[in-house]
Structure 1
Amino acid sequence: MKLDSRWNCVWIAAVGFDGLRGVMAQDEGLVPMTFEPLPLGSIKPAGWLKDQLQLSADGLAGHEHDFYDYVAHSTWLGGTKEYSNLREGFPYWFNGLVPLAYLLDDSRLLDQVRSAADYVLGHQQDDGWLGPEKGNERNFWGRMPFFLGLMNMADADKTYERKIMDALWKSSGLMNSMLRDNYTGYHYHDGDKVGQGDEQWGRVRVQDMLITLQWMYEFHSDSHNATQLWETMDLLIKGSLNWADWYNAETYIKQDLNTLPVSITEPLFPYTHGVNVGQGLKAPAVFRRHTHNTSLIRTTQDAVSWTFQHHASASGAILADERLAGLAPYYGSETCTLVETMFSLSYLYQALGDNTYADLCEKIAYNAFPVQMSKDWWARQYVSQPNQPYSENLTKTPFWNVNSWGQTYGLETDYPCCTVNHGQGYPKFAAAMFVQVPDSGGHAHALLGPGSVTLDDGTSIACTTTYPFSNTLTYTITSPTALNFYMRIPAWTLPNSTLLFPSTNTSHPVSPDPYSGLHAVSLPPGPSTFSLTLSNPGIRVEQRANDTVAIHYGALVFALALPYIATSSPPKAYGGGGNEGLPEGYAPEEARDWVMRSEGEWRWGVDVRTLEVHYGGDMEGGEVWGKVWISGRGCEIEWGVLGGGDGEEGVPDVPPTGGERRCVGGVGEVRLEPLGGAKVHVLDIPVVELD
């Protein structure tokens, strides 16, 4: 996140809201998860998804430890480099690289996370503080992503479990004493180095700390002070900022925040900051585990529904070019927001079991997120726009707090948080693909994609598929005992999806649970093989604002794909508006900043009646985005640029509507491709009717 003095003056009351913070007696314990996550390392990605993870390992995320100042030379590792006094760069990176390393079992990445953990744990301060801060420099926020990484590492690597748990217990004891001392390290006090207002990051994101503490309480508290840990969670909840106050019909802002006066929007900034929103979607469900407040289920439903209805694109990207905006297709969505939203939605499906959350998680993972990464994963965008026919230095921007380079691809175009945080996206998604179903003792394929899981009892489950680029998933399962296995059926499917069992040459219709989307199969001991074919309803047309549409086919969202010319340059530093180059030799040769400009016209209207789906080429491998496409017919239309100009000064405005929309050029063929591969694109497509 960025730090700005405009935001340091406004905070909503933080204590005393009993609806969210009701303290539950410890003997009630934590509310169980609907589906239990499996330990990191038990799930392995396969197919095209593994290829993308390998590209990330071979790309920027996998090399930041080698050169990137805010990781390699972070104060967490004995260096002097930070991009803010919150010291979040290294924790963000660690939180993403741990699952990437263990998913791929990559020795180079494992060496990185182990050496980083060894250094930080080996330099734990005498009073228990983990991190480089001393005295009034201390603030809990930076520990939240770092502790999530430690939690995953302890699950994945038994050689580190004891060392990590000893450090976390010592640190949590200190946390308890600091919280009891007038919320030291959590609320602002005179003289704190983390300035007034900047303490909000930890208070509004505390759910990430609670996830680690709840895991400690459930699985590692037998011989430790569980009572103190419970009190620590109480104090964190009581001292936090209240998401339930924001997700209230009388408070929540459904209109475009950029149309409202500052006097209304500024006091609400902690709840309208895009990354906070992505992280905060799971907050009520995390708190509910502790408070047993069932009203927080409805709060979660409202949070997700309102966010994606009023402040998100058709791809599932929350439109917040730092702060929440509206639905205009020129607003941006931050890469950090995407990966945090994916993690929140996967958590919500595990916690509450609502199929809606898994569908949304897949939508972002398979559409919004990959378009913001370069094909080689050596560059990322700070923000991407639904309608982005060029990715270049803009003279005029529509963004609330993004510089003119923000929608280009690069090492640290605009703020560095997306450089260090993007790495958690696919690893955490892949690590949540399979879950345990406690009620039946079975297991489920929750987030669909190619991968496998091996369980402690010797059961192995493997799914071979090119989903979401096709709709058939083949399962090979071996179990020493009878097994209840579940597959999640997305809500976009028709009700006639089928299972085919080749051993008996029989097929069966699926009948998923209407809430969770799970369909159960009872399997005998031994090997079993069967295929699930999801019934695809064909092209689905979503109505968007301004007489535009978004095109869906299966789990994919399609955009008008524009041919483009890409040029690169050495990476620029984020400071000074992003116009100054980094020192020569600072970054590997592969790290480049990219400008992409479409070669042809982008002002197209499309007749949706003419759309047809096509497949071609090998569906395996890393270059999957162009293997399915949609053809159609359209025409060039009049379509202005926001603020005027010829297109080189700004970004596309909303298109003309109704009778003002007309063809100004001949009819031609258009090609729509999955958004994930269409780096320059038009997602909200104007509709025309051709004769």
Structure 2
Amino acid sequence: MLYHQIREKRKVATLRTEHELKDYSRQVETRINKVTWLPAARWLPLALLLSISLFVLWMQLGGRVPLFQCLEEILRRLAFWPFDSSSSTPNVTSLAPYIFQPLPLGSIQPLGWTNDQLKLMADGLAGHQYDFYHLVHQSPWIGGNSEYSVLNEGLPYWFNGLVPLAYGLNDSRLIAQVEDATEYIVAHQWEDGWLGPEAPADRDLWARYPLFLGLIQLVEADITQANRVVPAMYTFIDLMHSMLVENTGLTQIWGRVRFPDMLISLQWLYENYPLGNQTMMLDTMSLLESRGFDWSSYWTEDNFIFVDLDTIQDDIDGGSPRFPFVHGVNAAQGLKAGATIYRYTGNDSILQNNRNGVNWTFSYHGDVAGSIIGDERETGLGSNRGSELCTAVETMYSMSYLYHTLGDNYFADRCERAAFNALPVSITADHWARQYLAVASEPYAKPLSGENPFWNVGDLGIIYGLEPNYPCCTVNMPQGLPKFLSASFVQIGDNDLGHALLGPAQVSFTTKVVTDIVITCTTNYPFSPVLYYNVTTTSPFTFYLRVPSWSVLDNSSITVNDNEAIPLTPDPRTGMMPVLLGFGTSAVTYTIGANVRVEQRANSTIAVYYGAILYALDVGQIVTTLPNSLYNASYSNASPYDTSAPLIPNEVHDFAFTNTESWNMAIDISSLTFHTTFNNATEPALKNPIFDYQAPPTYISGKGCEVDWPLYNGLPAPLPALPEGVRHRSCTGNVTDVILRPYGSLKNHMAELPTVDLSIS
């Protein structure tokens, strides 16, 4: 089922931007809701059934909704069957517990390269959008009039990411931004409870989802905010409940397909600030699920799309009932759907379905760097197709949530892969520019002309800048690494802690049985296999260390206080390895064995990994500064860039990255050798910024040669599949040395490579 043909360009250019898709979605729903009436002889049974259904639904809504609106809802349900959810308020008194309880925001502080990266974020685009970027600085959420979509999602996206960045760093300047925005939003809550700038006739719930995720993090980090934030949230939830009962508030597909995000916030309130609202909260969760699209129905063998969407007869475009599930960002956010439903229903029968959905998504649409291929819409596994930066950060969040909730080691592995590869490759080393779309076969990141290989992304989709192609990734990218940090340590049971997502950090926490624990992890992981822990505790506890599934256990070990090394026997499902620690201070050294490994990709190509890092071919790099391609300058339907906003900082530019060496290379797998500048002695600090070109201390050397590899619509074409019985390509050039470097440090690169066997050349 792997994509092995150059696809024909489909005629879908009428919707060129996500802006058009979003603004078009209401028209789509109207078109979908139209039905073709049966011949006259069949009208009477249908009319009778429709009348009964109309009356029943009207009675369920208490007679408060006009009959024509009930009719519209019945037709909508028919159009989207079998993808509509159906649920009733569960008879539960508590939520299903996490396998690994996340810690409150602020419990974990960054160290080492993670701290460097977060400070670069604070000093870069993420930390200054509130100062100058008109879609945040002059958002209608805080009294302005600048927005890129009728969804009004710009500031909520930014807020959801800035809160964990501000409190992860304990940065007073960023905290002031968070507090300022919060104060305005809460102070301007509508009398009926609505949060946001929309008048009653224009209200859609979706943008409240990222806002609420930001608000619950804010209250976790600063409990003094609870007195004003929690009542405002409940006042809104009461209104939302009424809207859902009356079947209003979900006018666009985005709120219906991304409902798991709001379930997370409601469940957090249910557990931390119930305030006697438990029944209403459970009913609201049930209503959200029932009004939303049913991910469990899509994740079935009958409905899931296992093939490249460009090769199937049915055109899955914005008007298709399956489109909401194959939109790349939706797919990333939806990966946690079953787990969020399980927590409030206790229905564990949906969990295997959720696991299937994750496995199938990555197996048939997964990006080599850990994200999901979807240049707006999913395709297959083509190496010249792209993954949005929004998709990368949403994938990270979904995978960390799934690991906390279900405990499968696979989810943590996927989260780390995206965090160490898909995320950094799309952001410049200084964090002042970002890419909309990352491509595995991307020897240059420059403007494309004419046709491009993407489904619905423009010619500026792979350059770096303030807002090339579409602004959503600018405001949504801040959540990536800060949320990874806040998810890294977890509570296990009543008295134990675990390191779930590995990296340098310090955690200070008091367990449920009042054990005070401080753990400092000093490490260059994932660029080094060794993690050093200094642990201080007021009473004995078990410290759990996650062992990635790619680990070579024979070369891995744990030592405590220089005692004899403990061989690793991690739990086969969670990957957690228990280490018993006594009262006082302990020193723990954790070494993770790794080797060069190869994963098969489409079209007889491979990807090369060492540990959690993807290694790509270094094709040389020239950086060119380009004029800023402001969103309204790129697309005629955009609102003008607000010239009254503060001037764009001098640091903000568009950039192109081009190659200086041949990119059409095949490699001999047997020649690959891993190298590091570290040794067994104390490791020096990593370079800062670590994801700059050639900054990482590791690389892989090997041998390769040029092969026949044409371009297709501006980027390297997917290679044809090899004939049966043939395993390697044929050289068209001389054998030469090749260097592979960490993918995140190469803004132009070749990450999916064909192979040659030089021993028979």
Contact persistence 1:20–1:291 (CA under 8 A): no
1:620 corresponds to which residue? Answer: 686
Question: 2:686 touches 2:697 (CA, 8 Å); kept in 1?
Answer: no
TM-superposition CA deviations, 1:456-497 (whole Å, max 9, x none):
343101111111111111111101011111000000012235
Counterparts of 1:167 and 1:135, CA distance in 2: 18
CA distance in structure 2 between the aligned counterparts of 1:367 and 1:517, rounded to whole angstroms: 21
For 2:144, the equivalent position in structure 1 comes to 79
The offset of 1:504, in angstroms, is 4.6
CA distance 1:637–1:244, shift in 2 (3 Å) = same
Q: Are the aligned partners of 1:489 and 1:518 in contact in 2 as well (CA < 8 Å)?
A: yes
Task: Please give the residue correspondences for 1:38-437 in structure 2 after superposition, counting only pairs within 5 Å.
Answer: 38-180=103-245, 182-186=246-250, 188=251, 199-221=252-274, 223-263=275-315, 266-395=320-449, 396-437=451-492
* Alpha-carbon distance in 2 for matches of 1:59, 1:29: 42
- The answer for the alignment partner of 1:544 in structure 2 is 601
| SS, match of residue 507 in structure 1 | coil
Q: Distance in 2 between matches of 1:582 and 1:150?
A: 28
Q: Is the 8 A contact 2:112 2:685 kept in 1?
A: no
Distance 1:271 1:471, change over 3 A: same
- Residue 287 (structure 1) shift: 0.8
- 1:491 paired with 2:583, answer no
Aligned with residue 751 of structure 2, among 667, 683, 691: 683
Residues in 2 aligned to 1:206 and 1:368: alpha-carbon distance in whole angstroms: 25
**What amino acid maps onto 2:718 in structure 1?**
V
Whole-Å separation in 2 of the counterparts to 1:2 and 1:531: 50
Q: Deviations over 1:421-475 (max 9, x none)?
A: 001000011100001112x531110001110110134310111111111111111
Question: Residue 346 of structure 1 contacts residue 361 of structure 1 at CA under 8 Å; is this kept in 2?
Answer: yes
Give the Cα separation in 2 of the matches to 1:121 and 1:433. 31
2:563 to 502, 505, 520: 505
1:23 CA drift (Å)? 3.0
Residue 592 and residue 324 in structure 1: after superposition, are their counterparts in 2 closer, same or farther (change >3 A)? same
CA RMSD of superposed structures (Å): 2.1
Structure 1 position 77, deviation (Å): 0.4
Q: CA 1:201 to 1:478, structure 2 compared with 1: closer, same or farther past 3 Å?
A: same
Q: Deviations over 1:260-285 (max 9, x none)?
A: 23455522111010000000000111
How much has 1:218 moved relative to structure 2? 0.9
Per-residue CA distance 1:85-104 (angstroms, 9 max, x = gap): 11000000000000000000
State how far apart, in whole Å, the 2-side matches of 1:566 and 1:425 are: 25
1:463-612 aligned within 5 A = 463-496=521-554, 498-501=556-559, 503-536=561-594, 538-575=595-632, 577=634, 586-612=647-673
Partners of 2:95 and 2:703 lie apart in 1 by 56
- Provide the aligned length of Structure 1 versus Structure 2: 670
- Aligned-pair distance for 1:666? 1.6
* Letter aligned with residue 250 of structure 1: D
1:636 pairs with 2:731: no
Percent identity (aligned): 43
Instruction: Render the CA deviation track for 1:321-353: whole Å, top value 9, x for unaligned.
Output: 000011110000000001001000000000000
Of 428-437 and 160-169, more deviation after overlay is shown by 160-169
Residue 445 in structure 1 maps to residue 486 in structure 2:
no
2:721 maps to 1:651: no
* Kept after mapping to 2: 8 A contact 1:339/1:425: yes
Task: Note if contact 2:327-2:378 (Cα within 8 Å) is conserved in structure 1.
Answer: yes
Q: Kindly tell me: are residues 10 and 390 of structure 1, through their superposed partners in 2, closer, same or farther at Cα, counting changes over 3 Å?
A: farther
Q: Aligned partner of 1:544: which letter?
A: R
Structure 2 distance, partners of 1:235, 1:152, is 24
Greater Cα offset, 205-214 or 18-27: 18-27
Which whole-Å CA distance do the structure 1 matches of 2:349 and 2:90 have between them? Answer: 18
1:3 matches 2:73: no
One-letter code of the match for 1:3?
E
- 8 Å Cα contact 2:84-2:291 kept in structure 1: no
Kept after mapping to 2: 8 A contact 1:16/1:238: no
Aligned partners of 1:655, 1:30: CA distance in 2, in Å? 49
Alpha-carbon distance between aligned partners in 2 of 1:62 and 1:358, rounded to the nearest angstrom: 27
Residue 614 of structure 1 aligns to which amino acid in structure 2?
A: H
| Secondary structure of 2:285's aligned partner | helix
Structure label with greater radius of gyration: 2
Once the 2 structures are TM-superposed, how far is the Cα of residue 139 of structure 1 from its aligned partner?
Answer: 1.0
- Take 2:562 and 2:324, find their aligned partners in 1: how far apart are those partners? 57
Displacement of 1:511 after TM fit?
Answer: 1.0
In structure 1, give the amino acid aligned to 2:573.
Y
* 1:315–1:264 CA distance, 2 compared to 1 (3 A): closer
TM-score (norm 1): 0.93
Measured after TM superposition, the shift of residue 178 of structure 1 is 1.7
SS at match of 2:196: coil
Match of 1:647? Answer: none
Structure 1 residues 110 and 486: alpha-carbon distance in aligned structure 2, compared to 1, 3 A threshold: same
**Offset at residue 522 of structure 1 (A):** 1.3
Which whole-Å CA distance do the structure 2 matches of 1:110 and 1:249 have between them? 47
More displaced stretch, 670-679 vs 20-29: 20-29
User: For 1:196-226, what per-residue CA distance to the aligned partner results, in whole angstroms no more than 9, with x for missing partners?
Assistant: xxx11001111111111111111101x3322
Report deviation, 1:603: 1.0
Q: Distance in 1 between matches of 2:525 and 2:253?
A: 40
Measure the CA separation in 2 of the matches of 1:158 and 1:93: 21
Contact 1:497-1:532 within 8 A present in 2 as well: no
Between stretches 624-633 and 139-148, larger displacement belongs to 624-633
**Within 1, Cα distance between the matches of 2:593 and 2:19?**
44
Deviation at 1:129, TM superposition (A): 1.0
Aligned CA distance change for structure 1 residues 545 and 501 (closer, same or farther; 3 Å): closer
Using the TM superposition, give the Cα deviation of residue 656 of structure 1 relative to its aligned residue in structure 2, in angstroms.
5.1
Cα offset, 1:546, TM superposition = 1.8
Decide whether the 8 Å contact of 2:85 with 2:293 is kept in 1. Answer: no
Equivalent position amino acid for 2:705 in 1: C
Q: CA deviation at 1:25?
A: 3.6
- Matched residues in 1 for 2:600 and 2:535: separation? 41
Query: For structure 1, which runs of at least 5 residues remain unmatched after alignment?
Result: 189-198, 644-649
CA displacement at 1:575 relative to structure 2: 3.4
Tell me the amino acid that sits aligned with residue 510 of structure 1. Answer: L
Which stretch of structure 1 is more off in the superposition, 570-579 or 109-118? 570-579
Does the 8 Å contact 1:24/1:290 carry over to 2?
A: no
- Write the letter of the residue equivalent to 1:642: Y
Secondary structure of 2:240's aligned partner: helix
Cα separation, 2, equivalents of 1:436 and 1:147: 23
Does the aligned pair in 2 maintain the 1:572–1:582 contact within 8 Å?
Answer: no
Shift of 1:64: 0.4
User: Where does residue 733 of structure 2 map in the other structure?
Assistant: 665
Q: 1:17 offset after TM fit, Å? A: 7.4
